[in-house]
A and B are shown apart, each in its own frame.
Chain A
Amino acid sequence: MDSALTEISEFIQAIPPMDLLPSHILEQVVKEISICYVRRGESLPPKGVIDENLYILRKGALSYVSADDELLGRYGEGEICTVFCFNNDDNIKVTTDEDTLLYSINYHNFHQLVGEFSDVMAFFQHTSEQRLNKKMLQVNEDAILNASLLNSSIANFYHSPVVTIAPDASIQQAAILMTEKGFSCLVIANHKQPLGIVTDKDIRRRCVAQGLAIDQPVSTIMTDNMATIDLKSTAYDALMMMTQKHIHHLPVTSNRQLKGMVTVTDLMNNEGQNAVNITSVIHKAKSVSELTDISQMIPKLQIRMAKLGTTADHVGKSISAITMAFTIRLIEMAEKLLGPPPVPYAWLAAGSQARQEQFAHSDQDNALIISNDMQPQHSYWFKDLATFVSDGLAACGFIYCPGDVMATNPKWCQTQDVWAQYFAKWINTPEPKALMHCSIFFDLTTVYGESSLLEQVQTNMLKTTQRSTLFIAHLSRNALNLRPPLGFFRDFVLIQDGENKATLDLKHNGIAPIVDLARIYALSEGIASVNTIERLQQAAGTPSLTKASAANLIDAYEFLSMLRMMHQANKLQQGKQPNNYLSPKEISKLEREHLKDAFKVIKTMQDSRQSTY
């Protein structure tokens, strides 16, 4: 091609989605260009242009505003304005912020040239929400291709058939059957209906050590009320259940019928250096220093998962599972040191760990809920426990919470009644500032101990929040303090100065606002889940959130989290401290487009929240 047009076509080719076009098509597209010059402050389309056109900005800047004059965004150099590709039904107005040189292309002609390239056409035919959704579908597909533990269904793992034995068979018969088959456990079942499980350990502890006759029915030593997992669950769910209940075998059921068995070894065989592997090593650790060594693997795991194409949701869940395993192991060590707890209690995780959205090097946010039977003298035991565990976590790289949301803080080491009062106070007489600090406690989960303690408080809390519009209003106001960095010059508002100059704060400007919105939807609809995606999924279709908006928010959330995960993986790989500050230069032009789309989704939802309250 002529070198003049080469220069222009190189410019066009660098702009997504034009980069997907083969050069002979691009050459024809360039021939369709009319160059226009529009003075600052004038509106598009340029005088005398009546066709439906797309405009590529060669130089200058455009703003587009809604029919009621709200600034929707800006286009800068190398961006494509698609407002005039079709009938402009939304009456969006576009004006120039600077003297602007435009490459305009008749959309009809463009469509004829490019129509067969569906990836390219998708850009023009979809709204920003739709484009983002398409991107997320693709990311999720990649994750499935790289099938990891977290995407694998239990159905790919479990052993079948399971060796079962009738409840009236003797302990000896059970032991013989286990020896024959080489299994360390048996399921006790009555006509395929699982009743319980018996393991090597049960025979040792409940029979031989107790001097129980071996002709007794096996049902006397079985663990009834056993945990089972549904066939439709993921391997990740199995891992969580095993970690939480501290078990290595999990019967798999479908419609309460026994289908098979999944063991921790099955999970480990599926992946090498993975979350299961690490959690299993954690369980075997004998000392805090051993745990510290193991914690070195977490950043590596995060890098590996990010590079494998695992979604941020899954990385968050894996890291959260590992933190949980660390915490449980530390509590076990503490209990060994301090003796058994004086009264029932539960160790709680708050914030990102509770939401299962934790990344390497997060803060520890934790608390203790203690039975109402607690006496004043018991407080020393709990103080020692809290100190031991939080020091241990700090040694493993989970830094102390800067806001002192930790079990070591007496304020957050309280009985069930006090916690119930806390929640009642926050909800009934909300103070905006107090709420900002304690909204973290609306994302709470039991890591260890008596889970009913928290469940009771949460059930009551959710009943109240649903009715308390004042509380929801205050929470909403707080949530709206963090706004996406959109709407100023050329779309992104970058951090102005300091160490993180010219970057975007992905956490505070992108992820946190969605987490906040999801919490508000959950609390106003009485949804018990704390994980952001689960909250959005469950709130979808309720009066608080339409299904379409939920889907858009989930896409935006996944995309932002993925960017953060990739950014952190790169930092970790360079041996640097991971952070949330992304330089727009780090990402491709197309990703920048998606990032803007994600911010637009957040802004839309925040605006609708604002108009509600």
Chain B
Amino acid sequence: MFNHHPLTRWLLGYEAQRKRMLKKAPEGPLRDFLRVPFPALYTPFDQIPILAVDFETTGLDAVQDKLLSVGCVDLCHNQIKLGSSYHQIINTKGRLKADNVTIHQITDDQKDQGQPLAEVIEQLLKRLAGKVMLVHFARIERQFLRQACLELYGMAPPLPIIDTLVVAKKRLDKRDVAYDPSQLRLSALRATYQLPDHYAHNALNDAIATAELLLAQVNDRADNVALQQLIL
């Protein structure tokens, strides 16, 4: 638990990692990403530049499975800016499995008209530079983005992340009552905050839905929380 000490985290944390990696990173999208400092841990919520991100994938294994689409939108100053939204289907190799198509609703035809992975990751890193990534259930996005960076640039950058699932889980754990894990699903959590139903399994839609959920979670507290209390 020593890495929760602010100073230790500062030394070993994402900002230190960023600076170290910047020295080694090859010229290109990754280096550009690493050039921009991340926000400090004490940044109050309404000042944190956040990019809500969601991926649709062919499965849960970042090595074997493929990234199908990326959606993201900016959240800053308590506002989700739809003008900043980005959604792109990726032209991955191989055919899609039928049982998957029913979930993400991306067909082979759409996929074939998508953009190559390298271009989409470049776009995403450009948008993510200097920001905290917001996701619901971080494992998927973190691993797939790491994997994509390793394949494309030979190294994976540090990623400061806020995970709405973890924010919710911490609160439930504090209350010390048993809960069903299904309560932590995006749609279930949104429902507890009376947020409207959303059309799930579209990357941009889920990114917006996640950002709305975070707004509700943060505004549920009277005080203005800082990045430190939210970050993974």
Contact = CB atoms under 8 A, between A and B. Distances in A.
Interface of A: 2-5, 7-8, 30-39, 46-49, 58-60, 98-99, 101, 104
A35 B194 contact: no
A36 B199 contact: no
B46 A59 contact: no
Given A3-B199, A5-B82, A59-B196, 7 more contacts: A3-B205, A4-B87, A4-B202, A32-B83, A34-B82, A49-B79, A104-B79
B79 A2 contact: no
Given A4-B87, A48-B77, A99-B193, A35 B199 contact: no
Interface in B207-232: 207-208, 211-212, 215-216, 219-220
A101 B196 contact: yes
Contacts of B85: 2, 4-5, 31
Given A3-B199, A3-B205, A5-B85, A37 B71 contact: no
Interface of B: 46, 71, 77-83, 85, 87, 193-196, 198-199, 202, 204-205, 207-208, 211-212, 215-216, 219-220
B62 to A, nearest CB: 24
14 contacts: A2-B87, A3-B202, A4-B87, A31-B83, A33-B83, A34-B81, A35-B79, A37-B78, A37-B216, A38-B219, A58-B196, A99-B216, A99-B219, A101-B196
* Binding site secondary structure of chain B: mixed
B194 A98 contact: yes
Nearest to A49: B79
B187 to A, nearest CB: 14
B78 A46 contact: yes
Contacts of A36: 78-80, 215
B195 A59 contact: yes
A39 B82 contact: no
Contacts of B193: 99
Contacts of B87: 2, 4
Contact of A47 (B46, B204, B207, B208): B46
Given A2-B87, A3-B202, A4-B205, A48 B46 contact: yes
B198 A7 contact: yes
B80 A35 contact: yes
Given A4-B205, A48-B46, A35 B219 contact: no
A44 to B, nearest CB: 13
Nearest to A77: B196
Given A2-B85, A7-B198, A99-B193, A34 B79 contact: yes
Contacts of B77: 48
Contacts of A35: 79-80, 82, 208, 211-212, 215
Nearest to A38: B219
Given A48-B46, A59-B194, A101-B195, A33 B82 contact: yes
Contacts of A31: 82-83, 85
Nearest to A39: B219
B166 to A, nearest CB: 19
A31 B80 CA distance: 11
Nearest to A60: B194
B83 A2 contact: no
A5 B204 contact: yes
B194 A39 contact: no
A99 B78 CA distance: 14
A37 B212 contact: yes
Interface centre among A2, A4, A8, A39 (most CB of B within 10 A): A4
Contacts of B215: 35-37
B19 to A, nearest CB: 31
B83 A47 contact: no
A394 to B, nearest CB: 54
A61 to B, nearest CB: 11
A542 B78 CA distance: 53
Contact of B82 (A32, A98, A99): A32
Contacts of A47: 46, 78
A4 B79 contact: no
B79 A101 contact: no
A523 to B, nearest CB: 51
A98 B204 CA distance: 27
Smallest CB-CB A-B distances: 5 pairs: A4-B205, A37-B215, A35-B80, A4-B204, A34-B79
Nearest to B199: A7
B30 to A, nearest CB: 26
Nearest to B79: A34
A609 to B, nearest CB: 40
A5 B73 CA distance: 11
A39 B78 CA distance: 12
Nearest to A31: B83
A458 to B, nearest CB: 60
B78 A48 contact: yes
A4 B71 contact: yes
Contacts of B205: 3-4, 7
A101 B78 CA distance: 12
Contacts of B208: 4, 35
A356 B194 CA distance: 51
A23 to B, nearest CB: 16
A99 B196 CA distance: 12
Contacts of B83: 31-33
B199 A4 contact: yes
B204 A37 contact: no
A105 B194 CA distance: 22
A32 B212 CA distance: 17
A39 B212 contact: no
Nearest to B224: A47
Nearest to A102: B79
A239 to B, nearest CB: 55
Contacts of B80: 34-36
A48 to B, nearest CB: 5
Contacts of B216: 37, 99
Contacts of B78: 36-37, 46-48
Nearest to B86: A2
Contacts of A59: 194-196
B4 to A, nearest CB: 29
A2 B194 contact: no
A46 B81 CA distance: 15
Nearest to A35: B80
A475 B205 CA distance: 59
Given A4-B199, A59-B195, A30 B212 contact: no
Nearest to B214: A37
Contacts of B198: 7
Nearest to A32: B83
Contacts of A60: 194
Contacts of A33: 82-83
Contacts of B220: 39
A169 B212 CA distance: 94
A49 B46 CA distance: 12
A33 B77 CA distance: 14
Contacts of B46: 47-48
B42 to A, nearest CB: 19
B110 to A, nearest CB: 11
Contacts of B196: 58-59, 101
A47 B222 CA distance: 13
Contacts of B82: 5, 8, 30-35
A99 B195 CA distance: 9
A39 B196 CA distance: 15
A47 B224 CA distance: 12
